[in-house]
Structure 1
Amino acid sequence: MEPLAYRMRPTTIDDVIGQNHLVGDKGIIRRMVNARRLSSMILYGPPGTGKTSIARAIAGSTDAKFRQLNAVTNTKKDMQIVAEEAKMSGQVILLLDEIHRLDKARQDFLLPHLENGHIILIGATTSNPYHAINPAIRSRTQIFELQPLTPSDIRQAIERAIHDKDHGFGDRAINIDEQAMEHFVQAAGGDIRASLNALELAVLSAEEPVHITRQDAEDCLQKSSFNFDKDGDFHYDVMSAFQKSIRGSDVDAALHYLARLIEGGDLPTIARRLLVISFEDIGLASPQAASRTLTAIEAAERLGFPEARIPLAQAVIELCLSPKSNSGITAIDAALSDVRKGRSGEIPKHLKDGHYAGAKDLGNATGYLYPHNYPGGHVKQQYLPDNLQKARYYSPKDTSKSEAQFKQVYDNIKKE
């Protein structure tokens, strides 16, 4: 017998749970189905949010032939079989999972069939299609984002499975405690598949009459079904929220997102982002924060999880509560902007290679003034090209004593 999650998949658009912005009364996919004017589309979102279910529901609501392939495991020959069937029947809805893994050969084969309308492609992916999918496919499809399902959506799915006599457990007397239901709902993390798999395990492993307690629910769904795909769009959203929380000095929010990243187990990505943050957002306001962050990262890498969480947490807390300055990144970006616009100019002759050799001994003979020969290790002379002499890239912050000292030196030099 098929798993419960498979049996409970919707057969029509009316059976789909959640995603009202797409399949609700005014949703664009519902309007397409009602008008019998289907077009190829890409559905992207976290696992278990209904991408496959919506594809099957579209087929069920239109009586169209439905085929399902996977871009990782199915070959061009498999697609040719679907294409031949589409020619004979007039139209086939093809659900292509992991569409971001589609190579050029299979893509080139599909394109003409999409253009003539014989194949209605529904691509499913957890990756952002604007980043991961070839433009040739994107230009021939509508792109729809699926939202994480709400706890009420998960509860609706569980209750439907309990009472459905044809596909669920409606033919059995099942008593489920409210605390058990709450655990299935909350710990599923918005993943209907995970909640239904846990419910099925609880029911099939129970003695008659079936009574599911909170402990049973915890045994069958022992940890949150945390949606984490290091190549998926959701992962980058968490990383973005992580950095922005540190930048905003919200320790609790930053630790929350760190915990989600730790659950994903991707230590190299966490380490890289922390090191970037230490330079980009704390920067010259606390120059030693970067070296301490690197020390914490090296300790985490040596320890591995779960102990690695300790130095990582300490680094996050310090970065959150450190003074902030983005003067380093804004300075180099301003300089890069000039260079990319062609504002480079001729290098002053006294700075060119060859004039430096022996400058300490020759003094002013070459036109280059050797700073170490002057009080304070500084002497006024031209360094920027003629057309950029007034350029100012570094704009010091006053968020810390460290950068205030840099600002004082910088201002004094510029005044000369």
Structure 2
Amino acid sequence: MKPLAHRLRPTEFDQVVGQDHLIGEKGIITSMIKQNKIISFILYGNPGTGKTTIAQLVAKKAGMESFNFSAATDSKARLKEIIATTAYHDILVIIDEIHRMKTDIQDYLLPFVEEGKVTIIGLTTQNPYMSVNPAIRSRCHIYRLNDITESDIVKVLELALKSDYVDTDYRYTKGALEYIAQSAGGEVRTALNMLEATMLIETDEIITKEICKQAIGKPILKLDDQQDNYFDILSAFQKSIRGSDVDASLHYLARLITLEDLGSIVRRMLVIAYEDIGLANPNIGPKVVAACDAALKVGFPEARIPLSVAVIDMAISPKSNTAISAIDLALETYQTGKVGPIPSHILNREIKANPALYKFPHNYPKALVDQTYLPESNINDTYYNPKEESTYEKALKERLIWIKQKKELLKKENK
């Protein structure tokens, strides 16, 4: 009664798909096994990519006594029982969900890891650089598992149908296997479970995509607001708008809408409006604010409508990042210490003592006056460099050039 995915769990590295960079002929983990030197490491990646399988194969091949420890459910007492065996020999401990390991358990474990009495293999779906305690992380090498491609999953399904574990005469069309692969959300385990479900359909016909739809139900959506994948989608969403690909922008918006995290969508869209479009189309900011406000007021499912309007508008709009580039350069200049004192003629305390120091621009033609505002050490700094791709920013550039020319004339007149 064990699930097909369990029965077909790989027993050799070459049966694991998609991870040749780790367990292929020249992979680092393969080298560890060949040299009989296992170092502590953490495997992280999306569910179904082979983390547990690889860890168990390493334990099998390492020739060390190995133990499994779940950071989510096992206690410190359980870990003490495991580590007690180091009195006789060194051991290997596979730690599932290592990002959830409590501090007191880590503190107990660390000395044994440092001494080499315990070698650990940590498993996590979360980015260990963000989720794993630095004390543990600094003692481990970190290896990321590749996402499994649909073609990889099709190969696994084809091998499964040829294996001794599948007692069936069912035949599948290529389209059926591809549909299972597409529906599995990048998880080999899920794909095998779906394949097993299709074997429950009573039919003498070849299994087609339509029959698979009947057996599988709703496809697995590869979305998780607690894991890297969610932020990958947000990033792809912004890059698609920045790249003026309206269809890709709507595609990733659809993924985000499926998660129904309206707050994150709104925040990202407001950022995009000012970071990537900015002065190329200054009207986009208020328009996106209005669309996001409407979406928040009506909620899902209707919120998808104003969001779509705004995303289409942003994707097709001209782009400019001059505003963010300008402020980032100004921040970098200040934070590196390349700054001088504020000129005395624009300091209120100096002006109060001597009002003639400050020339009030509105008292001069076109509000222009021969007066500096930057500190003396920054007098030649230029932060804003306008583009000419949009009519508005081209006009800003022309205005900026005019201002500089007029100020140069005023300087000459006052000499």
What TM-score, normalized by structure 1, do the two folds share? Answer: 0.87
Which residue is equivalent to 2:246? 251
- Unmatched segments (≥5 aa) in structure 2: 408-415
The Cα of 1:328 is off from its aligned counterpart by: 0.7
Which residue is equivalent to 1:54? 54
State the distance in 1 between where 2:394 and 2:385 align: 11
Three-state SS of the structure 1 residue aligned to 2:362 is: helix
State the distance in 2 between where 1:278 and 1:6 align: 48
State the distance in 1 between where 2:63 and 2:213 align: 40
State the distance in 1 between where 2:341 and 2:51 align: 58
Which residue is equivalent to 1:325? 320
State the distance in 2 between where 1:256 and 1:317 align: 11
The aligned runs of 1:10-409 (5 Å cut-off) are 10-88=10-88, 90-165=89-164, 168-170=165-167, 172-203=168-199, 205-207=200-202, 212-354=207-349, 365-409=355-399
**Contact 2:47 2:125 (C-alpha < 8 Å) held by counterparts:** yes
State the distance in 2 between where 1:339 and 1:258 align: 37
**Contact 1:126 1:234 (C-alpha < 8 Å) held by counterparts:** no
Which residue is equivalent to 2:404? 414
The Cα of 1:163 is off from its aligned counterpart by: 4.2
Q: Give % identity.
A: 44
The Cα of 1:144 is off from its aligned counterpart by: 1.5
**Contact 2:198 2:216 (C-alpha < 8 Å) held by counterparts:** no
State the distance in 2 between where 1:54 and 1:193 align: 14
The amino acid that maps onto 1:230 is D
Judged with a 3 Å threshold, the aligned counterparts in structure 2 of structure 1 residues 66 and 208 are, in CA distance, closer, same or farther, namely farther
Three-state SS of the structure 2 residue aligned to 1:414 is: helix
Judged with a 3 Å threshold, the aligned counterparts in structure 2 of structure 1 residues 147 and 329 are, in CA distance, closer, same or farther, namely same
**Contact 2:176 2:208 (C-alpha < 8 Å) held by counterparts:** yes
The Cα of 1:265 is off from its aligned counterpart by: 3.5
Three-state SS of the structure 2 residue aligned to 1:9 is: coil
**Contact 2:197 2:216 (C-alpha < 8 Å) held by counterparts:** no
**Contact 2:342 2:375 (C-alpha < 8 Å) held by counterparts:** yes
Judged with a 3 Å threshold, the aligned counterparts in structure 2 of structure 1 residues 397 and 21 are, in CA distance, closer, same or farther, namely same
Deviations 1:116-139 (A, max 9, x none): 333221112223333333333233
The amino acid that maps onto 2:401 is D
State the distance in 2 between where 1:256 and 1:275 align: 18
The amino acid that maps onto 1:265 is E
Judged with a 3 Å threshold, the aligned counterparts in structure 2 of structure 1 residues 66 and 12 are, in CA distance, closer, same or farther, namely farther
The amino acid that maps onto 1:291 is P
State the distance in 1 between where 2:7 and 2:87 align: 30
The Cα of 1:67 is off from its aligned counterpart by: 2.9
Deviations 1:305-333 (A, max 9, x none): 33333322222221121111111111111
Three-state SS of the structure 2 residue aligned to 1:292 is: helix
**Contact 1:285 1:323 (C-alpha < 8 Å) held by counterparts:** yes
Count of matched residue pairs: 406
State the distance in 1 between where 2:324 and 2:332 align: 12
**Contact 1:12 1:58 (C-alpha < 8 Å) held by counterparts:** no
Deviations 1:183-238 (A, max 9, x none): 112222321121122223333x4348797443332134334433223343333333
State the distance in 1 between where 2:7 and 2:262 align: 37
Deviations 1:257-302 (A, max 9, x none): 3333333433322222221111111111111111111222222223
The Cα of 1:377 is off from its aligned counterpart by: 3.5
Greater alpha carbon shift after TM alignment, 184-193 vs 332-341:
184-193
The amino acid that maps onto 1:385 is P
Three-state SS of the structure 1 residue aligned to 2:254 is: helix
State the distance in 1 between where 2:191 and 2:72 align: 26
**Contact 1:68 1:95 (C-alpha < 8 Å) held by counterparts:** yes
Three-state SS of the structure 2 residue aligned to 1:174 is: coil
Judged with a 3 Å threshold, the aligned counterparts in structure 2 of structure 1 residues 356 and 47 are, in CA distance, closer, same or farther, namely farther
**Contact 1:282 1:324 (C-alpha < 8 Å) held by counterparts:** yes
State the distance in 1 between where 2:365 and 2:202 align: 89
- Unmatched segments (≥5 aa) in structure 1: none
The amino acid that maps onto 2:170 is I
Judged with a 3 Å threshold, the aligned counterparts in structure 2 of structure 1 residues 209 and 120 are, in CA distance, closer, same or farther, namely farther
State the distance in 2 between where 1:18 and 1:382 align: 61
**Contact 2:201 2:215 (C-alpha < 8 Å) held by counterparts:** no
Greater alpha carbon shift after TM alignment, 213-222 vs 117-126:
213-222
Judged with a 3 Å threshold, the aligned counterparts in structure 2 of structure 1 residues 136 and 319 are, in CA distance, closer, same or farther, namely same
The Cα of 1:44 is off from its aligned counterpart by: 1.5
**Contact 2:242 2:276 (C-alpha < 8 Å) held by counterparts:** yes
State the distance in 2 between where 1:155 and 1:30 align: 25
**Contact 1:356 1:368 (C-alpha < 8 Å) held by counterparts:** yes
Judged with a 3 Å threshold, the aligned counterparts in structure 2 of structure 1 residues 49 and 265 are, in CA distance, closer, same or farther, namely farther
The amino acid that maps onto 1:391 is D
Judged with a 3 Å threshold, the aligned counterparts in structure 2 of structure 1 residues 293 and 26 are, in CA distance, closer, same or farther, namely same
**Contact 2:284 2:314 (C-alpha < 8 Å) held by counterparts:** yes
Judged with a 3 Å threshold, the aligned counterparts in structure 2 of structure 1 residues 271 and 185 are, in CA distance, closer, same or farther, namely same
State the distance in 2 between where 1:412 and 1:281 align: 26
State the distance in 2 between where 1:79 and 1:313 align: 52
